[in-house]
Amino acid sequence: MIDVLFILYRVIAGLLALVALVNILRAKSLEKALNHAILFVPLLLRTLLIK
Amino acid sequence: MNTKHILRNVVVLLAALALAFLAGQEFYDLQQPDEFYTANPALTRIAKLSEYNPNLKGTAGDTDIYVFDSGVPGGVALVYGGTHANETAAVMSAITYIENVSVSQGKLFVIPQANLSAFSATLPLRAQTGHMTFKLTDGSTRQVRIGTRLANPVHQWPDPNYRLNTSGRMLQHGEIAEIRNLNRNHPGLEEGYLVEMVCYGIRKLVETENVDLLFDGHEASPEFRAVNFLIAHERAMDLGSAAILNANLDAMMEGNMDGYPFKLDRSGATSWGLSHRALGDNTNAMATLFESLNPVMGFCHDKVTEELVKDGISPNYVKITELGLLNSGELTEAGSPIELRAAYHMEMSRHLIGALGELYPEKTLTISGLPTFNDLVTNGFEGILKPLK
């Protein structure tokens, strides 16, 4: 059960990281791009189970 | 969207990736195991905790156990550090055992990193250093990780909303993260949360190997009442008294007429899940726990740099002491260096082992080869640790 939750967690974190990545590329202002970049870093590290 | 925007956004993305790489590299390094010196001829074998709880096999909780078996019947002791991975003196004390101890009667088990997972992360938002490095006399270096008091959420997640653990301790609200604290979940569960399974492994080790004496090394904040206290299960009180008496006699023989600042306290009846209570109640071992003083643990700690961890010089606590708010005797400008703190651990555990044979001759465990208090304090770990190659 815990293993399934862990996989689910990584999938969700990975999808959110992908959304953040797309949002960085589509941002209309520098502030918005930076906002999404700040979200993207921890989401990526979570997906990779590094932090 | 025009080309200028796309170019700008790509630059932001590349900067974010670079930041993730740099931060990730540091976090990833913390997940790599420490290298220990294993050429001590007295070392019989290196066991795994999963030998005592197979559910730990392949997990981040499967820590190494260093076994020193004389082959001569006698007492059995377990000395371990790293229950809390940021309580560095206990870890260094266990490492000093591994590199130097020799056993001529009985059997000794040493675990330097009891909560192995906790060595792979530091506390968020604390800007704590993740390693301590010692430059040895031959020019080589030794590095040991500094972690945190809880297992890494990367290895044990999610924390439940409520847990009545095997010790009877209710974990809920602000205390729920303690489900990742090794010293709140004894005697543990064969199959449960990772830390509960580690606790169970230690319990089975104690039961299977008929461990007579258990020594769990810790460090505490200067504000904590029980700094430099040996906390003993009621069955270990005689042992603790004899050990402190002998340690002080030894200190006086070596010219330290003030002796050591050791005190003895009985394990609290409601210290649920703590090693001295739960393993004392649930096994035949005489369970003890020792706390040295480490300014890093305190509420008013300075920036947790490698220097603070190693030298224990804390301007904040010197000021607090000058104001008369605390008086441990160790919060001076000279600091509370890791060698002094580890030497306290070594003296306490060594004399507990000695007292075991004095009070129970059939449980005699004879050890030698450990550096003396003065050796450690004078030469430092730079002069005591052995080069790896």
- Each residue's pLDDT tens digit, B194-239: 999 999 999 999 999 999 999 999 999 998 888 999 999 999 999 9
In a domain, B222, yes or no: yes
Tell whether B18 is within 8 A of chain A (Cβ).
no
Q: What is the dihedral of CA B112, B117, B119, B125, to 10 degrees?
A: -150
Minimal-distance CA residue of chain A relative to B152: A51
Are residues B21 and B77 located together in one domain of the fold? no
Mutation choice for A interface testing from B4, B12, B22 by most A CBs within 10 A: B12
Minimal-distance CA residue of chain A relative to B4: A28
CB contacts < 8 Å between A and B, how many?
Answer: 59
Average pLDDT over residues B345-352: 98
Closest approach of A15 to chain B, Cα-based (Å):
16
Average pLDDT over residues B86-91: 98
Is B1's CB within 8 Å of A24's CB? no
What pLDDT band is residue B1 in, cutting at 50, 70 and 90?
A: low
Cβ–Cβ contacts within 10 Å for residue B239, how many? 26
Helix (H, G, I), strand (E, B) or coil at B67: strand
Are residues B319 and B200 located together in one domain of the fold? yes
Would you call B311 exposed, middle or buried from its count of C-beta atoms within 10 A (0-12, 13-18, 19+)? Answer: middle
Is B13's CB within 8 Å of A9's CB? no
In this complex, which of A5, A40, A51 lies closest to B158 when CB atoms are compared? A5
Is a pLDDT exceeding 90 seen at residue A31? Answer: yes
Structure tokens at B53: 């709880």
User: Which residues between 2 and 21 in chain A have a beta carbon less than 8 angstroms from any beta carbon of chain B?
Assistant: 5-6, 9, 21
Percent of chain B with pLDDT over 70: 99
Tell whether A30 is within 8 A of chain B (Cβ).
yes
What pLDDT band is residue B326 in, cutting at 50, 70 and 90?
A: confident
DSSP state of B213: E
Is a pLDDT exceeding 80 seen at residue B389? Answer: no
Q: How far is CA B136 from CA B122, B140, B193, B212, in A?
A: 26, 5, 39, 36
Structure tokens at B89: 């003196």
Are residues B50 and B6 located together in one domain of the fold? no
Are residues B216 and B331 located together in one domain of the fold? yes
Kindly report, residue by residue over B371-380, the tens digit of the pLDDT.
999 999 999 9
Average pLDDT over residues B168-187: 94
Q: How far is CA B12 from CA A31, A37, A44, in A?
A: 10, 7, 15
Q: What residue has token string 């606790």?
A: B199
In this complex, which of A28, A41, A48 lies closest to B16 when CB atoms are compared? A41
Are residues B23 and B51 located together in one domain of the fold? no
Average pLDDT over residues B287-315: 94
Q: What residue has token string 């209710």?
A: B170
In this complex, which of B13, B15, B28 lies closest to A25 when CB atoms are compared? B13
> What is the H or E stretch that residue B130 is in?
none
Are residues B20 and B137 located together in one domain of the fold? no
> What is the H or E stretch that residue B243 is in?
helix B237-253
In a domain, B389, yes or no: no
Is A28's CB within 8 Å of B10's CB? no
Give contacts of A49 with chain B, Cβ < 8 Å. Answer: 154
What pLDDT band is residue A9 in, cutting at 50, 70 and 90?
A: confident
- Is residue B364 within 8 A of residue B347, CB to CB? The reply is no
Structure tokens at B102: 């020799």
Are residues B200 and B274 located together in one domain of the fold? yes
Tell whether B123 is within 8 A of chain A (Cβ).
no
Is B23's CB within 8 Å of A6's CB? no
Structure tokens at B179: 């489900």
Is A51's CB within 8 Å of B8's CB? no
What pLDDT band is residue A1 in, cutting at 50, 70 and 90?
A: low
In this complex, which of A24, A28, A48 lies closest to B13 when CB atoms are compared? A24
Average pLDDT over residues B79-104: 98
Minimal-distance CA residue of chain A relative to B6: A25
In this complex, which of B15, B16, B27 lies closest to A51 when CB atoms are compared? B27
User: Pairing between strand B76-80 and B107-111?
Assistant: parallel
Q: What is the pLDDT of residue A2?
A: 67
Are residues B187 and B287 located together in one domain of the fold? yes
Closest approach of B202 to chain A, Cα-based (Å):
23
Q: What is the pLDDT of residue B310?
A: 96
Minimal-distance CA residue of chain A relative to B122: A51
Tell whether A37 is within 8 A of chain B (Cβ).
yes
Tell whether B14 is within 8 A of chain A (Cβ).
no
In a domain, B120, yes or no: yes
In a domain, B281, yes or no: yes
Would you call B244 exposed, middle or buried from its count of C-beta atoms within 10 A (0-12, 13-18, 19+)? Answer: buried
Give the bridge partners for B282, in sequence order. none
Is A6's CB within 8 Å of B19's CB? no
What pLDDT band is residue B3 in, cutting at 50, 70 and 90?
A: confident
Kindly report, residue by residue over B266-299, the tens digit of the pLDDT.
999 999 999 999 999 999 999 999 999 999 999 8
In a domain, B358, yes or no: yes
The residue range of the domain holding B15 is 1-30
Are residues B68 and B182 located together in one domain of the fold? yes
In a domain, B175, yes or no: yes
In a domain, B155, yes or no: yes
DSSP state of B35: P
Average pLDDT over residues B92-98: 98
Count the domains in chain B.
2
| The amino acid at B39 | A
Q: What is the pLDDT of residue A5?
A: 78
Mutation choice for A interface testing from B7, B9, B189 by most A CBs within 10 A: B9
CATH number at residue B285: 3.40.630
**Phi and psi torsions of B73, nearest 5°:** -55, 140
Are residues B221 and B317 located together in one domain of the fold? yes
Are residues B181 and B48 located together in one domain of the fold? yes
Average pLDDT over residues B173-187: 95
Give contacts of A38 with chain B, Cβ < 8 Å. Answer: 16
Cβ–Cβ contacts within 10 Å for residue B142, how many? 20
**pLDDT-wise least confident of B62-66, B90-94, B295-299:** B295-299
What pLDDT band is residue B254 in, cutting at 50, 70 and 90?
A: confident
Are residues B136 and B215 located together in one domain of the fold? yes
Cα A20 to Cα B254: distance, rounded to the nearest angstrom:
65
Q: What is the pLDDT of residue A7?
A: 86
Q: What residue has token string 């004899």?
A: B242
> What is the H or E stretch that residue B292 is in?
strand B286-293
Would you call B177 exposed, middle or buried from its count of C-beta atoms within 10 A (0-12, 13-18, 19+)? Answer: middle
- Is residue B182 within 8 A of residue B195, CB to CB? The reply is yes
In a domain, B143, yes or no: yes
Average pLDDT over residues B254-265: 92
Question: In terms of Cα–Cα distance, which of B326, B367, B300, B382 is closest to B75?
Answer: B367
- Is residue B329 within 8 A of residue B341, CB to CB? The reply is no
Mean pLDDT of chain B: 95
Give the bridge partners for B231, in sequence order. B265, B289
